[in-house]
Amino acid sequence: MYKLETLANKTKILLAPQKATDAVTILALVKVGSRHEAAPVNGISHFIEHLLFKGTTSRPTSLDISKELDGVGADFNAFTGKDHTGYYVKVSHDKLALALNIVSDMLFNSLFDQQEIAKERGVIIEEINMYDDNPLISIGNLFEEVIFKGSSLGNDIAGPKKNIREISRRQITDYFWNHYRSDNILVGVGGNFDLASARRLIKKYFSAPGGNVKKSRFKKFAAAQTKLRIKVKYKATEQVQVALGFPAYRAGDPRNYGLTLLSVILGGNMSSRLFIEIREKLGLAYHIRSGIITYEDTGALEVFAGLDKAKVALALKTIRRELESFAQGQITDDELRRAKEFVKGKLTLSLEDSAAHIQWLAEQQLLQGRIETLAVKLKKIDQVSVKQIKKVALEVIKKNKYNVAVIGPYRSASSFLNIFK
């Protein structure tokens, strides 16, 4: 169960008690991410996420923040996505007040010290280098650049190194106050806590007046693709990283239940079609998986694989065959039954942790404007039929809407064109 309320300053609060734990998690979500950024400041949302740990008016240095949290054994961090940024602290339930105090202090009283900004430029550039050096990580960025071509959804969350070197303090603070407004923040508390105490503390620490600057709006993504897209990034690797997929449905679209089950049957686990065919039978890959991603206005079905470079063509032809078999209606009742049990089991287990549970609820509310409980989702999973999956497959898996990203020892996409035509 959960309770959703709104403070006088329009900050939303989400309270999700879980008594079967001694921990409590505070999660503050801000509805801003890389898709809100203009090209010259791409990377600024992620930059700000880093800077909020670098000192506040009452805790002037990053060490002051970390020592206080480390002193109670807290688990704390932050993350930046395409459409939102999050800050969380997980502590023993008796440290709720401290955690709320520190998170609010970071959100409302950060210093954005010029020297800290200068130092953090180097840290972020090294983070970008780390991602660039790891094709297993960077293939996802390349794939979203391809499938969301022409949209800010294709932006790299970390941004280009040039931007990180040149973004000014004034740009950072203007962007911060433009988006870190009270009406753009959701504060979630999950785990073992007293509702009345949590409400009182949240009102104490998060009732700052809202800003008066109009926040920017992103342009919604419109899938206008009519032909195959392939992008190749040269890297002298022994293993070829490949991502391929199709535009799909936005977050909250009921068809995602069918698409999720399709993805599980395709490559969601070690008994899936792609795992058995590509890895177990043919020995063409070490890892292969499929999944879906969703945003407010769009989504995608995607397949990722690390392939033997001598057998890439065979592997990709096999992946294509398995994908298109869904559009031809080749799905069995037994496959669907097993996929449902897998999804329900994984979802149920994942929500036992207070941090995972509050993030799951809060992101639904922030990005969809509504929440479906675990019981509702399990029921809807059970209701999906083979016929519905076939319909979803016909809508999504289209030969003229393949998007393919490749990182490996290739200078051009020519060797891949015939595989997907």
The pLDDT of residue 9 is 95
> Do residues 78 and 144 share a domain?
yes
Domain hosting 317: range is 229-420
Residue by residue, DSSP assigns 132-178 as HT-HHHHHHHHHHHHHTTTSGGGS-TT--HHHHHH--HHHHHHHHHH
Q: Is residue 163 located within the same domain as residue 244?
A: no
How many domains does the chain divide into? 2
Measured distance CA(49)–CA(91) in Å, rounded:
20
pTM: 0.95
Q: Given the structure tokens 């070197």, which residue do they identify?
A: 165
Is there a domain that residue 216 lies in?
Answer: no
Q: Indicate if 27 and 63 belong to the same structural domain.
A: yes
Same domain, 306 and 169: no
In a domain, 244, yes or no: yes
In a domain, 406, yes or no: yes
Of 206, 240, 267, the residue at which a domain comes to its end is: 206
* Whether 273 and 199 share a structural domain: no
CATH number for the domain spanning 273: value is 3.30.830.10
Same domain for 106 and 233, yes or no, is: no
Whether residue 100 sits in one domain with residue 39: yes
Residues 314 and 281 occupy one common structural domain: yes
Q: Is residue 219 part of a domain?
A: no
Pair 275, 186 in one domain: no
Asked if 346 and 241 sit in the same domain, the reply is yes
Phi/psi at 74 (5° precision): -75, 150
Query: Does residue 224 lie in a domain region?
Result: no
Residue in 13, 147, 40, 139 with CA at minimum distance from that of residue 407 = 139
Q: Which pLDDT score is estimated for 216?
A: 60
Instruction: Report CA torsion sign: 323, 367, 87, 30.
Output: positive
Quote the tokens at residue 157.
């969350």
Same domain, 79 and 37: yes
Is 222 within a domain?
A: no
Contact indicator for 17, 193 with CB cutoff of 8 Å: yes
Asked whether residue 318 is domain-assigned, the answer is: yes
**pLDDT tens-place values along the chain, 421 residues long:** 899 999 999 999 999 999 889 999 999 999 999 999 999 999 999 999 999 999 999 999 999 999 999 999 999 999 999 999 999 999 999 999 999 999 999 999 999 999 999 999 999 999 999 999 999 999 999 999 999 999 999 999 999 999 999 999 999 999 999 999 999 999 999 999 999 999 999 999 999 876 555 556 788 888 889 999 999 999 999 999 999 999 999 999 999 999 999 999 999 999 999 999 999 999 999 999 999 999 999 999 999 999 999 999 999 999 999 999 998 888 999 999 999 999 999 999 999 999 999 999 999 999 999 999 999 999 999 999 999 999 999 999 999 999 999 999 999 999 899 898 7
**pLDDT value at residue 220:** 87
Residue 213 placed within a domain: no
112 and 254 share one domain: no
Radius of gyration for the chain, computed over Cα atoms and rounded to the nearest angstrom? 23
